[in-house]
């Protein structure tokens, strides 16, 4: 049973994966929030915020952080740096900067020209760690899932997510599973 955060060595209060390829590396909610700042800055196409968030993320390591975990952290930064550069190009093309996401079956003012496939992500959160307020673990899990789905959607060439759903399923007395899914589509202005 993993009990310590792979990055900071702190108490593992949630089970966020660091990188999908290495599911054994689990990170705490604080490291996960710092990771989400990197993703958020890339999504907003803010180079300065991206730089700061990346440095703060790397600064969370401690003496016990393994080289494999450090390498995974750099993979994440590189991946979203790539997205940032791509966004800058897209900005110049005046294409979508932010992928629209909606719970409905269409994007207002647009028509769907292609279904690219279903995207999804899930995260287990410790029920004990749930606190009222916006930075609660299920909320962070939901944001993480959203970022994972946006990355998957971009990889599929989609420019919007429709039929977005989030479900909360208790796994047992200790964990809650937060599952998100959506259909990745290409839309054009109608
Ligand atoms: Zn941590």
Query: Looking at the DSSP assignment, which residues form a beta bridge with residue 26?
Result: 17
Could you give the CA distance from residue 52 to residue 150 in angstroms, rounded to a whole number?
22
Q: Give me the percent of the chain exceeding a pLDDT of 70.
A: 87
CA of 120 from ligand 1 middle (Å) equals: 24
Q: CB atoms < 10 A from the CB of 65, how many?
A: 17
Q: Residue 55's CB: how many other CB atoms inside 10 A?
A: 11
Look at 14-23, 81-90, 164-173 and tell me which has the smallest mean pLDDT: 81-90
Give the distance, in angstroms, between the CA of residue 124 and the centroid of all CA atoms in the same chain.
Answer: 14
Q: Check whether 16 has a pLDDT greater than 70.
A: yes
**Banded pLDDT at 95 (limits 50, 70, 90):** very low
Residue 184 has pLDDT above 90, yes or no: yes
Binned at pLDDT 50, 70 and 90, residue 13 comes out as confident
The alpha carbon of 86 and the centre of ligand 1 are apart by a number of angstroms equal to 29
**pLDDT of 110-124, one tens digit each?**
999 999 999 998 888
Which residue shows structure tokens 């839309």?
A: 187
Distance (angstroms) between ligand 1 centre and the Cα of 113 equals 42
- Residue 6 dihedral angles phi and psi, to the nearest 5°: -65, -25
Contact, 182 vs 118, CB < 8 A?
A: yes
CA distance 12 to 121: 20
Q: Which two tokens stand for residue 124?
A: 């287990």
Identify which has the larger pLDDT, 136 or 59: 59
User: Whole-model pTM?
Assistant: 0.51
139 C-alpha to ligand 1 centroid (Å): 17
Question: In the prediction, which pLDDT does 88 show?
Answer: 60
């Amino acid at each position: 049973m993993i009990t310590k955060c792979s990055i900071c060595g702190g108490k593992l209060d949630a089970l966020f994966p660091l990188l999908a390829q290495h599911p054994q590396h689990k990170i705490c909610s604080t490291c996960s929030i710092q990771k989400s700042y990197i993703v958020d800055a890339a999504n907003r196409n803010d180079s300065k915020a991206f730089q700061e968030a990346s440095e703060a993320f790397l600064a969370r390591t401690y003496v016990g952080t393994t080289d494999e975990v450090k390498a995974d952290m750099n993979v994440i930064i590189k991946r979203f740096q790539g997205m940032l550069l791509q966004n800058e190009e897209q900005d110049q093309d005046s294409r979508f900067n932010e992928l629209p996401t909606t719970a409905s079956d269409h994007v207002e003012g647009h028509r769907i020209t292609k279904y690219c496939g279903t995207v999804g992500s899930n995260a287990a959160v410790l029920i004990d760690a749930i606190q009222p307020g916006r930075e609660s673990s299920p909320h962070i899990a939901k944001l993480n899932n959203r970022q994972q789905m946006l990355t998957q959607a971009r990889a599929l060439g989609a420019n919007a997510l429709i039929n977005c759903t989030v479900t909360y399923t208790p796994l047992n007395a200790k964990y809650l599973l937060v599952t998100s899914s959506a259909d990745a589509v290409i839309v054009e202005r109608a």
